[in-house]
Structure 1
Amino acid sequence: MTLLIDKAEQALRVKGEQLNRRWYPEYHLAARAGWMNDPNGLVWFEGWYHAFYQHHPYSTQWGPMHWGHARSRDLLHWEHLPVALAPEGPEDKDGCFSGSAVVNGNELALVYTGHKFHGCPASDDNLYQVQCLATSEDGIHFNRQGQVLDTPAGLHHFRDPKVWKEGESWYMVVGARTEDTGMVRLYRSEDLRHWHDEGVLAVAPQGMGFMWECPDFFTLRGKQVLMFSPQGMQAEGYSNRNLFQSGSIVGHWQPGENFVQEVAFQELDHGHDFYAPQSFLAPDGRRIVIGWLAMWESPMPEQRDGWAGMLSLPRELTLTAENRLQMRPVKEVEAMRQDFSSWSAQTLDNQALCVMDHCETTEVILEWDRVGSDAEQYGIALEEGMRLYVDNQAQRLILERHYPQFGLCGQRSVPLPQTAALSLRVFFDKSSVEVFVNDGEACLSSRIYPDQRKLHIFAWSGKAVLNESGAWYLK
Structure 2
Amino acid sequence: MEDKRMVNKSAQFKNMVKHISQVPESIVRQEEKLTAASPFRQKFHIEAKSGFLNDPNGLSFFNGKYHLFYQWTPLAFKQNPSIWHHGWYHLISSDLVNWQDMGPAIESDTSLDKHGTYSGSAIAVDDKLFCMYTGNTWANTQTDDWRRLPYQVGAWMDQKNQFKKIDKPLITDTFSDCTGHLRDPKIWMHDNNYYAILGAQRKNLTGTAKIIKSAGRDLTSWQKYGELKTNEPYLGYMWECPDYFELNGRGVLLFSPQGLSAEDDYYNNIYQTGYFIGEPLDYDTLEFKHGKFHELDAGFDFYASQTLEAPDGRRIMFAWFGISEIDYPTTKYHYSGCLTIPRELIVKDKKLLQRPIKELEKLRKKEIQKYVLVDGLTELSITENITQELDFEVDLSSADKFVLDLRANQDNSQHTRLIIDKNEQCCLLSRKKSGISFAEKYGVERRRRIKFARSLRVHIFIDVSSVEIFIGKGEVVFSARIFPNDEQTKIFAQSIGGKSHLVGKIWDL
State which drifts further: 378-387 or 30-39: 378-387
The aligned counterpart of 1:378 is 403
**C-alpha deviation, 1:20, in angstroms:** 1.4
- What is the CA deviation profile of residues 371-391 of structure 1, one whole-angstrom value per residue up to 9, with x for unaligned ones? 22124x522332113111224
Structure with the bigger percentage of strand = 1
**C-alpha deviation, 1:209, in angstroms:** 0.6
State which drifts further: 174-183 or 131-140: 131-140
Q: Is 1:133–1:144's contact at 8 Å kept on the other side of the alignment? A: yes
For residue 406 of structure 1, the aligned residue among 437, 450, 454 is 437
**C-alpha deviation, 1:345, in angstroms:** 2.7
- What is the CA deviation profile of residues 6-62 of structure 1, one whole-angstrom value per residue up to 9, with x for unaligned ones? 236945444323321421111111112111000000111112111111110113489
Separation of aligned partners in 1, 2:149 and 2:231: 22
Distance of aligned partners of 1:125 and 1:426 in 2 relative to their CA distance in 1, 3 Å threshold: same
Q: Quick one: which amino acid aligns to residue 21 of structure 2?
A: D
Q: Give secondary structure in 2 for the equivalent of 1:51.
A: strand
Which TM-score applies when normalising by structure 1? 0.93
The gaps in structure 2 that reach 5 residues or longer are 1-16, 409-413
Q: Does 1:220 align with 2:247?
A: yes
Q: Is 1:39–1:278's contact at 8 Å kept on the other side of the alignment? A: yes
- What is the CA deviation profile of residues 295-325 of structure 1, one whole-angstrom value per residue up to 9, with x for unaligned ones? 12223111212321000000111101x2111
Q: Does 1:458 align with 2:493?
A: yes
Q: Give secondary structure in 1 for the equivalent of 2:159.
A: coil
For residue 503 of structure 2, the aligned residue among 468, 471, 475 is 468
Separation of aligned partners in 2, 1:12 and 1:261: 49
Separation of aligned partners in 2, 1:262 and 1:204: 8
Distance of aligned partners of 1:54 and 1:122 in 2 relative to their CA distance in 1, 3 Å threshold: farther
Q: Is 1:184–1:203's contact at 8 Å kept on the other side of the alignment? A: no
1:115-134 alignment, distance < 5 Å: 115-120=136-141, 126-134=147-155
Distance of aligned partners of 1:420 and 1:461 in 2 relative to their CA distance in 1, 3 Å threshold: closer
The aligned counterpart of 2:72 is 55
The aligned counterpart of 2:10 is none
**C-alpha deviation, 1:173, in angstroms:** 0.4
Q: Is 1:365–1:425's contact at 8 Å kept on the other side of the alignment? A: yes
- What is the CA deviation profile of residues 375-419 of structure 1, one whole-angstrom value per residue up to 9, with x for unaligned ones? 4x5223321131112245643211111357432550112113223
The aligned counterpart of 1:278 is 306
* Percentage of matched positions with identical amino acids: 31
Q: Does 1:148 align with 2:170?
A: yes
The gaps in structure 1 that reach 5 residues or longer are none
**C-alpha deviation, 1:453, in angstroms:** 2.9
Aligned length, in residue pairs: 470
Distance of aligned partners of 1:53 and 1:424 in 2 relative to their CA distance in 1, 3 Å threshold: same
Q: How much is the aligned-residue C-alpha RMSD, in angstroms? A: 2.3
The aligned counterpart of 1:351 is 377
- What is the CA deviation profile of residues 360-379 of structure 1, one whole-angstrom value per residue up to 9, with x for unaligned ones? 2110122111222124x522
- What is the CA deviation profile of residues 424-447 of structure 1, one whole-angstrom value per residue up to 9, with x for unaligned ones? 100011111001111211111010
Separation of aligned partners in 1, 2:57 and 2:299: 21
Q: Give secondary structure in 2 for the equivalent of 1:208.
A: coil
For residue 104 of structure 2, the aligned residue among 45, 66, 83 is 83
Q: Is 1:366–1:470's contact at 8 Å kept on the other side of the alignment? A: yes
Separation of aligned partners in 1, 2:330 and 2:135: 29
For residue 240 of structure 1, the aligned residue among 232, 247, 267 is 267
State which drifts further: 7-16 or 246-255: 7-16
The aligned counterpart of 1:335 is 362
State which drifts further: 118-127 or 103-112: 118-127
The aligned counterpart of 2:219 is 192
Q: Does 1:433 align with 2:464?
A: no
Q: Quick one: which amino acid aligns to residue 376 of structure 2?
A: N
The aligned counterpart of 2:43 is 26
Q: Is 1:358–1:455's contact at 8 Å kept on the other side of the alignment? A: no
**C-alpha deviation, 1:162, in angstroms:** 0.3
Separation of aligned partners in 1, 2:127 and 2:390: 42
Q: Is 2:297–2:476's contact at 8 Å kept on the other side of the alignment? A: yes
